Amino acid sequence: VRGGAMANAQDGEPAIFGKLREMLQSRVMFFDGGMGTMIQGYRLGEEDFRGERWANSSKELKGNNDLLSVTRPDIIQAIHEEYLAAGADFIETNTFSGTWIAQADYELDKNPEDVYLINKAGAECARRAAEKYTAMDPFKPRFVAGSMGPTNRTLSVSPSVENPAFRNITFMEVVDAYYKQLAGLYDGGVDVILVETIFDTLNAKAALFAIDKFADDHPEYERKPIFVSGTIVDNSGRTLSGQTSEAFWISVSHAKPFAVGLNCALGASDMKKYIERLGKCSDAFILCYPNAGLPNAMGGYDDTPADMAKDLVPFGNERLVNIVGGCCGSTPGHIKAIHDALKDCRVHVPPTIEPMLRLSGLEPFIMDPEVVRFVNVGERCNVSGSALFKKHVVAGNFDKMLEIAIKQVENGAQVVDLNFDEGLLDSNAIMRRFCNLIATEPEAAKVPFMIDSSKLSVVEDGLQCLQGKCIVNSISLKEGEEKFIEAARLVKRYGAAVVVMAFDEQGQAATKDDKVRICTRSYNILVDKVKFPPTDIIFDPNILTVATGIEEHNRYALDFIEAAKEIRETLPHCHVSGGVSNISFSFRGNNVLRESMHSSFLYHAINNGLDMGIVNAGLIPVYSDIDAELLKLIEDVILFRNGSEGTEALLAYSLTMGKEGSRKVSDEEKNKWRQLPVEQRLQHALVKGIDQYVESDTEEARRAYPKPLNVIEGPLMDGMNIVGDLFGAGKMFLPQVIKSARVMKKAVAVLIPYMEKEKEEARAAALARGEAAAEENMYAGTMVIATVKGDVHDIGKNIVAVVLGCNNYRVIDLGVMCAAETILEACETHKADVLGLSGLITPSLDEMVDVAMKMEKAGMKIPLLIGGATTSKMHTAVKVAPRYSKPAIHVLDASRAVTVVSSLLDENQKEDYVEDIADEYAELREEHYAGLEERRSVSLADARKQKFVIDFKSSMPAPKPRTLGVTKLVDYDLEKLLPYIDWNPFFQTWQLRGKYPNRGYPKIFKDETVGAEAKKLFDDAQAVLQELIESKRVKASGVLAMFPANTVDDDDIELYSEDDNRSDATRIGVLHTLRQQVEKEDPSAPYLAMADFIAPKELGIKDYIGMFAVTAGLGLEDLLKEAKEKLDDYRVIMLEAIADRLAEAFAEAIHLECRRDFWGYAAQEKLSNDDLLKIKYDGIRPAPGYPSQPDHTEKRTMWELMNADEVGITLSESCAMMPAASVSGLIFAHRESSYFAVGKINRDQAASYGERKGMDVKTTEKWLRPILSYDTEI
Strands 90-92 and 143-148: parallel
Q: Which residues pair with 485 in a beta bridge?
A: none
Q: Is the pLDDT of residue 745 over 80?
A: no
CA distance 1043 to 1201: 9
* Residues 1121-1148, mean pLDDT to the nearest whole number: 83
Q: Sorting pLDDT into bands at 50, 70 and 90, what band is 895?
A: low
Q: What is the pLDDT of residue 766?
A: 67
Evaluate if residue 764 carries a pLDDT over 80. no
Least confident among 346-355, 537-546, 815-824, 1143-1152: 815-824
For the segment 789-804, the average pLDDT, to the nearest whole number, is 64
Q: Which one of the listed residues 229, 581, 838, 844 is annotated catalytic?
A: 844
Check residue 801 and give its pLDDT.
73
| Contact assessment for residue 905 and residue 780, using Cβ atoms and an 8 Å cutoff | yes
Can you give the pLDDT at residue 2? 30
Element containing residue 742 per DSSP (H, E) = helix 734-768
Residue 713 is given by DSSP the state: I
Distance CA 781, CA 512 (A): 38
Query: Rounded distance, CA 502 to CA 475, Å?
Result: 9
- Alpha-carbon gap, residue 1226 to 1105, rounded angstroms: 7
Q: Residue 67 above 90 pLDDT?
A: yes
Instruction: State the Cα–Cα distance between residues 286 and 665, nearest whole angstrom.
Output: 70
| Catalytic pick among 793, 875, 1151, 1192 | 793
Please give the average per-residue pLDDT across 1108-1121, as a whole number. Answer: 93
| Separation of CA 369 from chain center | 31
CA distance 808 to 749: 9
Count helices and strands (H / E) in the chain.
Answer: 44, 33
Averaged pLDDT for residues 217-231: 95
pTM, two decimals, is: 0.63
The mean pLDDT value for 551-558 works out to: 93
Residue 526 DSSP one-character state = I
Longest CA pairwise span in the chain (Å): 116
Closest C-alpha among 867, 798, 779, 785 to residue 826: 785
Q: Which of 981, 994, 1001 is nearest to 1138 (CA)?
A: 981
Chain Cα centroid distance, residue 1163: 52
Q: What is the dihedral of CA 1197, 1203, 1208, 1209, to 10 degrees?
A: -20
Nearest alpha carbon to residue 1179 among 1157, 1152, 1158, 1204: 1152
Tell whether the model's pLDDT for residue 924 goes beyond 70: yes
For the segment 239-244, the average pLDDT, to the nearest whole number, is 89
Strands (E), 101-191: 143-148
Bridge partner residues of 198 (DSSP): 230
What is the pLDDT confidence band of residue 1059, given thresholds at 50, 70 and 90?
very high
Q: Regarding predicted confidence, which is higher, 302 or 335?
A: 335
pLDDT of res. 266 = 79
Say which residues have a Cβ less than 8 Å from residue 1013's Cβ, sequence separation at least 6. 992
Categorize the per-residue pLDDT at 663 as very low, low, confident or very high, splitting at 50, 70 and 90.
Answer: very low
What is the C-alpha separation between 323 and 304, in angstroms, rounded?
Answer: 20
How many CB atoms are located within 10 Å of the residue 37 CB? 20
The DSSP-derived string for 190-204 is -SEEEEEEESSHHHH
Helix H or strand E segment including 811? strand 809-813
601, 643, 840, 935, 963 from 639: Cα distances, Å: 9, 10, 27, 66, 75
Query: DSSP state, 468?
Result: S
DSSP state of 268: H
- Secondary structure of residue 563 in the 3-state scheme: helix
Mean pLDDT comparison of 143-152, 933-942, 990-999, 1119-1128, highest-scoring range: 143-152
Strand 375-378, strand 449-452: pairing: unpaired
Can you tell me the distance from the alpha carbon of 611 to that of 578, in angstroms, rounded to the nearest whole number? 9
| Strands 192-198 and 575-576, sheet pairing | unpaired
Please state the rounded mean pLDDT for residues 366-376.
85
DSSP for 1139-1198?
HHHHHHHHHHHHHHHIIIIIS-TTTT----HHHHHTT-SSSB---TTBTTB--TTHHHHH
On the 0-12 / 13-18 / 19+ scale of CB atoms within 10 A, 1074 is buried
**pLDDT tens digits, residue range 678-713?**
999 999 888 887 888 999 999 999 999 988 888 887
Neighbours of 1054 (CB within 10 A): 24
Does the pLDDT value for residue 855 go beyond 50? yes
Per-residue three-class SS string for 644-694: CHHHHHHHHHHCCECCCCCECCCCCCCCHHHHCCHHHHHHHHHHHCCCCCH
Strands 888-890 and 965-972: unpaired
Angle made by CA atoms 723, 729, 735, in degrees to the nearest 5? 50
Average pLDDT, whole number, for the chain?
Answer: 88
Nearest to 1181 by CA among 1239, 1229, 1219, 1232: 1229
Higher pLDDT, 745 or 541: 541
pLDDT greater at residue 559 or residue 893: 559
Q: Give one DSSP letter per residue of 601-645, joined into a string.
A: HHHHHHTTT--EEEE-TTS---GGGS-HHHHHHHHHHHTT-STTH
How far apart CA 615 and CA 808 sit, in angstroms, is 41
* pLDDT exceeds 80 at position 922: yes
Give dist(CA 1189, CA 1237) in Å, integer. 8
Q: Does pLDDT of 818 surpass 80?
A: yes
3-class secondary structure, 948: coil
844 is catalytic: yes
pLDDT tens per residue, range 805-814: 656 788 898 9
User: Span 912-921, mean pLDDT?
Assistant: 91
Query: What is the pLDDT, as a whole number, of residue 879?
Result: 85
Looking at residue 29, its pLDDT comes to 97
End-to-end CA distance of the chain: 45
The CA-atom distances, in angstroms, between 885 and each of 97, 874, 917, 923, 1227 are: 59, 17, 13, 17, 53
Residue 496 has pLDDT above 90, yes or no: yes
DSSP 361: S
Whether the CB-CB separation of 1231 and 1182 falls below 8 Å is answered with: no
Question: Does position 438 have pLDDT exceeding 50, yes or no?
Answer: yes
Specify the pairing of strand 1217-1218 against strand 537-540.
unpaired
Task: Give the whole-angstrom CA distance, residue 1202 versus residue 911.
Answer: 60
Q: What share of the chain is helix, strand, coil (3-state, %, to 5)?
A: 50, 15, 40
- Report pLDDT for 70: 97
Identify whether the C-beta of residue 690 lies closer than 8 Å to the C-beta of residue 683: no
- Read off the DSSP letter of residue 222: P
Single out the catalytic residue among 66, 200, 636, 791. Answer: 791
User: Please, which residues bridge with residue 452 across strands?
Assistant: 473
Angstrom distance (rounded) from CA 780 to CA 65: 83
Strands 834-838 and 1217-1218: unpaired
Angle at CA of residue 913, ends 908 and 918, nearest 5°: 145
Q: What torsion, rounded to 10 degrees, do the Cα atoms 839, 840, 846, 848 define?
A: 20
**Tens of pLDDT along 149-188?**
999 999 998 888 778 899 999 999 999 999 999 999 999 9
604 is catalytic: no
Span 920-925, mean pLDDT? 88
Q: What is the mean pLDDT of residues 939-945?
A: 95
> 1215: alpha, beta or left, given left = phi > 0 and alpha = psi -120 to 50?
left
**Residue 218 designated active-site:** no
- Where residue 37 falls among pLDDT bands split at 50, 70, 90? confident
The contacts of residue 235 (CB under 8 Å, 6+ apart) are: 270
pLDDT one-digit tens code per residue, 115-138: 999 999 999 999 999 999 999 999
Q: Are 611 and 375 in contact (CB under 8 A)?
A: yes
Contact by Cβ (8 Å): 155, 206: yes
Q: Which of 1080-1084, 1187-1191, 1211-1215 has the largest mean confidence? A: 1187-1191
Cα 30 to Cα 40: distance, rounded to the nearest angstrom: 23
Give the integer Cα–Cα distance in Å for 791 and 162. Answer: 42
Most confident of 488-502, 735-749, 778-792, 1158-1172: 488-502
What type of residue is 258?
A: F
pLDDT at 1013 over 80: no
